[in-house]
């Protein structure tokens, strides 16, 4: 299935490494003009070295005012991928206020802020568009000692559904993808320990974690016209984890 994005501008958050980086590269390879947001200038420079056509924006989405100042005049975004996010493993009785603020400020509040700014431009131009929120299996199932992270991704999924309902009449589609553990460089460092990974793997019928390209491919499909009737869904990319 060939997918291209001619004359299309895409914005990807959390694009300096991992899944976001590969999404930005794939979109550029498919012909989109890509703007990549990340917190690390060095990592964004590395991304630009790989694909020089990608425009990079250094920004911490937890900072509401900086996000507003940087993106308030953003124009002609047709595709948005809200990938920026952070996880946390901590027993519920050890959770502090600062933990909740840190996770929700990025995973929920930052995502909603960027989406609002992009939608204002789409609606002003009366343009169709597509948004994909990178959620997690944690939004669909409970994960041990990850109550705050699960709550944040549950919020992302609820926001996805509500936004799809509100924006559908404007021909703007909104979906989310919900991966299991993904073998990014960070994922490999944490989950290559077989003792740590055993319990999670035992609940995945396919018996393995996801590769980055397996998430990227679904995101690209959902952004494309091939998914023109797909709206308001949360797509598990979890090898069957959430069906067990």
Domain range summary for the chain, segments of one domain joined by +: 9-182+211-231
Residue 210 has pLDDT above 90, yes or no: yes
| Residue-wise pLDDT tens digits, 88-98 | 999 999 999 99
| Residue-wise pLDDT tens digits, 55-73 | 999 999 999 999 999 999 8
Query: What fold, for 9-182+211-231?
Result: Rossmann fold (3.40.50)
* The pLDDT of residue 144: 94
Query: What angle do the packed helices 18-29 and 41-50 form, to 10 degrees?
Result: 30
| Residue-wise pLDDT tens digits, 98-140 | 999 999 999 999 999 999 999 999 999 999 999 999 999 999 9
Residue 190 has pLDDT above 90, yes or no: no
* Catalytic site positions: 149, 153
* The pLDDT of residue 163: 98
| Residue-wise pLDDT tens digits, 150-189 | 999 999 999 999 999 999 999 999 999 999 999 998 889 8
Residue 192 has pLDDT above 90, yes or no: no
Mean pLDDT for the stretch of residues 223-237: 98
Please, which pLDDT band fits residue 193 given cuts at 50, 70 and 90? confident
pTM greater than 0.75: yes
Mean pLDDT for the stretch of residues 25-35: 98
């Amino acid at each position: 299935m060939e997918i291209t994005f001619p004359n299309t501008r895409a914005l990807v958050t959390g694009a300096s490494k991992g899944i976001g980086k590969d999404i930005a590269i794939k979109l550029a390879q498919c012909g989109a003009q890509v703007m990549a947001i990340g917190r690390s200038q060095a990592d964004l420079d590395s991304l630009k070295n790989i694909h020089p056509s990608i425009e990079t924006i250094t920004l911490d989405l937890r900072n509401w005012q900086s996000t507003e100042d940087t993106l308030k005049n953003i124009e002609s975004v047709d595709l948005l991928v809200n990938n920026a996010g952070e996880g946390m493993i901590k027993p519920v009785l050890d959770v502090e206020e600062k933990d909740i603020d840190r996770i929700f400020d990025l995973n929920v509040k930052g995502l909603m802020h960027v989406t609002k700014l992009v939608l204002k431009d789409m609606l002003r131009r009366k343009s169709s568009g597509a948004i994909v929120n990178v959620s997690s299996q944690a939004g669909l199932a409970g994960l041990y000692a990850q109550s705050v992270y699960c709550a944040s991704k549950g919020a992302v999924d609820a926001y996805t559904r509500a936004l799809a309902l509100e924006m559908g009449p404007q021909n703007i589609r909104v979906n989310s993808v919900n991966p299991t553990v993904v073998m990014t460089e960070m994922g490999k460092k944490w989950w290559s320990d077989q003792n740590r990974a055993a319990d999670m793997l035992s609940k995945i019928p396919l018996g393995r974690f996801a590769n980055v390209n397996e998430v990227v491919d679904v995101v690209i499909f959902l952004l494309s016209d091939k998914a023109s009737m797909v709206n308001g869904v949360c797509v598990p990319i979890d090898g069957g984890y959430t069906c067990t």
